[in-house]
Amino acid sequence: MAGSVVPVSKVPSRNYGCINYCISEYCTYRLQPLQFQRKYLQQSLHGKLNFTKRLLNGPLICCDKLRPVAALESNAPDPIQQGSENLRGGKNFKEWNSLSAKFAGASNIPFLLLQLPQIILNARNLLAGNKTALFAVPWLGMFTGLLGNLSLLSYFIKKRETEVVVVQTLGVVSIYIVITQLAMAGAMPLPHYIVTSTVVFSGLILNFMNYFYLLNPGIWRLWEDFITIAGLSALPQVMWSTFLPYVPNTILPGLLAFVIAVMTVLMARMRKLSDRGIKFVGSISGWTATLLFMWMPVAQAWTNLRNPENIRGLSSVSMLLAMVGNGLMIPRALFIRDLMWFTGSSWASVFYGWGNLLCLYYFQCISREFFGAATIGLVAWIGMTLWKDTQVYGYTSPLTSLKELVFGH
């Protein structure tokens, strides 16, 4: 969140003729593009926006104090855009702000390399008429990943984290290409593909309209409700399906979660929940997407446990790219005190990337030198991240940074 929220009843107001407006509306104007500021101010002064619309659809009412983002506020805008020159680190703070954003942007490279081989292989099989080979790629798993990427894209669009927006957009596009190839081979039912295509194109259009302030806030709230319900419904179903055939093959977990998600969203919209509850509901879509990705190493570990001989089918290069790609986003997530992002990136880097490399090393699929270099690199990167964050914030211990990350002030 850009700043601490001020109760409306305590916000002093001023009277310009017959127009009343909250002074605090203007404290976030500097976070908006200049054209947006002028247009919004002109509409307010000419009475085109009444008080209720300006309160609900306008910028957040806030004050200037910069504070870390607490766990339940992970869906708030990036606080780093405000007053960084007043923080203890000074010039170092600004430099690390820029550098950590570049690290996050650089994660595009390993993530692109992660999907590209599968896209090329699928294209070759299609051109050779070998459509059966594409049935080895589970379309349901790809769809789950696509839904997760779309949810995280919406999350980072709101935070205006441009570099990560590019990463998530690339993830959506690359997975959609694979899904299109599966549909061409008949490995994905056509009706499911049509629905998926509609969701993807609608999601991309809505996200980028919102990024450039071209979208009605009411429409954006409907989209957020959709991805919240979809993500919350998919998560328990995916978790349940992992343990088949040891559990019954049923859609009951997803169905129950769907009912709970719909009721929760409706209660939040009707303001039947506390302010803290409404804030939590607003963060659900990002957390469910993160948990979907976090479940991937759990599912992979379960598969390795059940079929140890299949671990040789894992690509050590792919696991290394997953470790590096997610690891590059850890400094930025810690720097802006985003608990959800930090949790997802750290988990994927350590448990999915490095964890699978550990399995490959245990079963003697990779050399000691390869595993040792990957381990030393990961430990050094995490250590450097903690040290640098502690330095730029002017703390004496990295535990202070981690405490702020989890609890805020």
pLDDT tens-place string over residues 286-307: 888 888 888 877 877 787 778 7
Residue where a domain terminates, one of 215, 237, 263: 215
Q: Which residue's entry shows tokens 């659900």?
A: 284
Q: Does residue 72 lie in a domain region? A: no
Digit-coded pLDDT (tens) for 246-287 = 889 899 999 999 999 999 999 998 988 888 888 888 888 888
Q: Is the pLDDT of residue 49 over 70?
A: no
Interatomic CA distance for residues 335 and 161, integer angstroms: 12
Q: Report the alpha-carbon distance of residue 196 to residue 346 in Å, rounded.
A: 29
Query: Strands 13-16, 19-22: parallel, antiparallel or unpaired by DSSP?
Result: antiparallel
Residue whose C-alpha is closest to residue 187's, from 116, 289, 118: 118
Same-domain pairing of 135 and 208:
yes
130 within domain boundaries: yes
**What residues contact 163, with CB distance under 8 A and at least 6 apart?**
101, 102, 104, 105, 332
One domain for residues 289 and 356: no
**Residue 39 CA to its chain's centroid (Å):** 30
Same domain, 221 and 318: no
pLDDT in tens, 160-183: 888 899 999 998 999 999 999 999
Per the structure, the complete domain to which residue 355 belongs is given by 307-408
The answer to whether the predicted template modeling score (pTM) of the entire model surpasses 0.75 is no
Quote the number of domains for the chain.
Answer: 3
Whole-number Å distance between alpha carbons of 143 and 191? 13
Examine residue 51 and state whether it is found in any structural domain, yes or no: no
Is the residue at 43 inside a domain? no
